[in-house]
Chain A
Amino acid sequence: MRNKNKFANIYLVLVFVVLYAPIFYLMYYSFNSGGTMRDFEGFTLDYYREVFQDTRLIIIVINTLVIALLSSAIATLIAIFGALAIHHIRSRRAKNTLLSLNNVLIVSPDVIIGASFLILFTIAGIKLGFTSVLLSHVAFSIPIAVLMILPHLQDMSPTLTDAARDLGATRRDVLTKVILPIIKPGIFSGFFMALTYSLDDFAVTFFVTGNGYSTLSVEIYSRARQGVSLSINALSTLIFLFTILLVVGYYFLNRRKARPGAAIAEPAAELGVPR
């Protein structure tokens, strides 16, 4: 039994090592004065300086954050109503149809989403750039946010809304004072998932950015295609640290609030899982 345990631990450690190796590899070479990812010559912070002096890059980082925050907020708002719509439909068939339509963008390959949105924006006469990127991010974030909110609506006891109505609450009161507070955790995880989708997206954005406007992943792609440049390493180190901060913050925020642990298992269980 002990032997078996040891084996298990080695396997897990190996998985973790492989998962993190590339990330630490990038971080390590970001300090290399040699300018390559080959031999480590000496310690330097030059590439970090380069990143902070690169105004174009900083603008792109800001673009990325603006798009992510704005699109997630809009998408979550629309998704709340979408989830309500799906929840309130009585007919099983209509419900399933709506749910399937909701999930189309989750299960479609990114290239198809990108290509079809490119056609859509071209036909609609929307100039490729900020607007088209924002609209696409809103569009592909809505379904995942709906899926995060829906289980909370289903868990909600229908007697609660009935009671509220009986006590004379208006439709609006029921929504804002009963339903929304109950599904709040779902709304937050929906927003958070939308945020990660938006920050991580490359393929769709790549199709709809056009010239002159860029997000971080598109920029990294074009820089990486030109070959190795250690400022990308420095940038990824910064992004990694920022991500850890976000995650740790999110973890503790949720931990303090609700059932310990459940907070993380929940988005995890939903992540990219078509239903």
Chain B
Amino acid sequence: MQSKGRPYYLIPYYLWIALFVIAPVLLITYYSLFDLEGNLTLDNYANFFTPVYMRMMLNSFWYAFLITLFSLLVAYPAAYLLTRTKHKQLWLLLIILPTWINLLLKAYAFIGIFGTFGPINNFFDLLGIGEQQILFTGFSFVFVSVYIFIPFMILPIYSALEELNHSLVDAARDLGASGWTTFRRVIFPLTISGVRSGCMAVFIPALSLFMITRLIAGNRVITLGTAIEQHFLVTQDWGMGSTVAVFLIVIMALFMLLTGRSRKRGAA
């Protein structure tokens, strides 16, 4: 089985890699070199370095960073507490369950909840704060995104915590470390791989959430994802859209390289 030639049944898999993994990257790069009229040009790249796109990129990364940070802040304690419950599997299942509801439906629910006459504003009214514009703001965008990503952050952290050897924690406590020190010096470093996976699972999709920016942020927040969607499906400027995509790919590759290296060290 091991070495005798190339078995023919592997062909579909290699074909898939060639057609759907390698070719798309090449095609995106190729298209980024053409303008709207189909002329070969580097204008798209020059355009990308104008303030408009630079601001968009910073904006995009800033929001993705915020979304990742808040997801982590909420998810870590939740994952930790989950490992301590009875019937862990059941609770974990309940955490996963909402991810199987289409994310557009969840986003749609927030249109009602955050709306002018929604329950949050009713509550504000009750408190005497008065109605606030919640929908179509940066806040609502971050909130809904965090809401959607939380399970994806909890899961890897949960499994890292599950693998944690509890005698190490006990040892730290026996040697006189406080709860916080134990967490900071023992538990957190040992579960960092889960945190890293969680952050990757949130950060990268957070860069491309064009549907939530449209539905919840009302085009107030424009991210790289929104820009790509706009160029491809609305203005039909595939060249510029591809250019934005090329930059996103390059940045991601760098990002993966950086995190990948440190992960390898951790695994060895």
Q: Does A167 contact B (CB under 8 A)?
A: no
Q: Does A240 contact B (CB under 8 A)?
A: yes
Q: Does A123 contact B (CB under 8 A)?
A: yes
Q: Does B252 contact A (CB under 8 A)?
A: yes
Q: How many residues of A contact B (CB 8 A)?
A: 88
Q: Is the CB of B98 within 8 A of A19?
A: yes
Q: Considering only CB atoms, which chain B residue lies closest to A98 in the complex?
A: B17
CB within 8 Å of B: which of A12-70? 12, 15-16, 18-23, 25-26, 29, 36-39
Q: Is the CB of B211 within 8 A of A203?
A: yes
Q: Does A94 contact B (CB under 8 A)?
A: no
B17 touches which of A21, A77, A101, A224 (Cβ 8 Å): A101
Q: Does A154 contact B (CB under 8 A)?
A: no
A12 to B150 CA separation, bound complex (whole angstroms): 13
Known: A15-B78, A115-B228, A119-B24. A108 touches B159 (CB 8 A): no
The segment from B47-55, B111-119, B126-134 that touches chain A is: B111-119
The distance from the CB of A171 to the nearest CB of chain B, in whole angstroms, is 6
Q: Does B28 contact A (CB under 8 A)?
A: yes
Q: Considering only CB atoms, which chain A residue lies closest to B80 in the complex?
A: A8
Q: Considering only CB atoms, which chain A residue lies closest to B29 in the complex?
A: A116
The distance from the CB of A135 to the nearest CB of chain B, in whole angstroms, is 8
A16 to B95 CA separation, bound complex (whole angstroms): 7
CB within 8 Å of A: which of B99-117? 99-113, 115, 117
Chain A residue numbers with a CB within 8 Å of B104 are: 202, 217, 220-221, 224
Q: Does B145 contact A (CB under 8 A)?
A: no
Q: Does B10 contact A (CB under 8 A)?
A: yes
Chain A residue numbers with a CB within 8 Å of B99 are: 196, 200, 271
The distance from the CB of B233 to the nearest CB of chain A, in whole angstroms, is 7
CB within 8 Å of A: which of B241-262? 241-242, 245, 248-249, 252, 256
| Interface size range on B against A | 35 or more
Chain A residue numbers with a CB within 8 Å of B155 are: 268-269, 271-273
Of A112, A171, A272, most buried by chain B (CB within 10 Å of CB) is A112
Q: Is the CB of B98 within 8 A of A224?
A: no
A171 to B8 CA separation, bound complex (whole angstroms): 13
A109 to B201 CA separation, bound complex (whole angstroms): 10
A207 to B94 CA separation, bound complex (whole angstroms): 32
A203 touches which of B31, B85, B102, B208 (Cβ 8 Å): B208
Q: Does A118 contact B (CB under 8 A)?
A: yes
Chain B residue numbers with a CB within 8 Å of A79 are: 13
Q: Considering only CB atoms, which chain B residue lies closest to A174 in the complex?
A: B1
A203-230 vs B, CB cutoff 8 Å, 1 = contact: the mask equals: 1001100000000110011001100100
Of B25, B85, B208, most buried by chain A (CB within 10 Å of CB) is B208
5 shortest A-B CB distances, which residue pairs? Answer: A116-B24, A109-B208, A37-B112, A22-B109, A82-B13
Which residues in A have some Cβ–Cβ distance to B below 8 Å?
8, 11-12, 15-16, 18-23, 25-26, 29, 36-39, 77-79, 81-82, 84-85, 88, 90, 98, 101-102, 104-105, 107-120, 123, 139, 142, 161, 165, 171, 174-175, 196, 199-200, 202-203, 206-207, 216-217, 220-221, 224-225, 228, 232, 236, 239-240, 243-244, 246-247, 251, 260-261, 264-265, 268-269, 271-275
Additional pairs, 16, CB under 8 Å, beyond known A110-B205, A115-B232, A119-B238: A15-B74, A18-B147, A19-B95, A19-B98, A25-B113, A81-B13, A82-B10, A88-B2, A109-B208, A116-B24, A202-B103, A220-B108, A221-B215, A228-B112, A268-B96, A274-B201
Could you name 6 residue pairs across A and B whose Cβ atoms are closer than 8 Å?
Answer: A20-B98, A38-B117, A111-B224, A111-B228, A200-B99, A271-B152
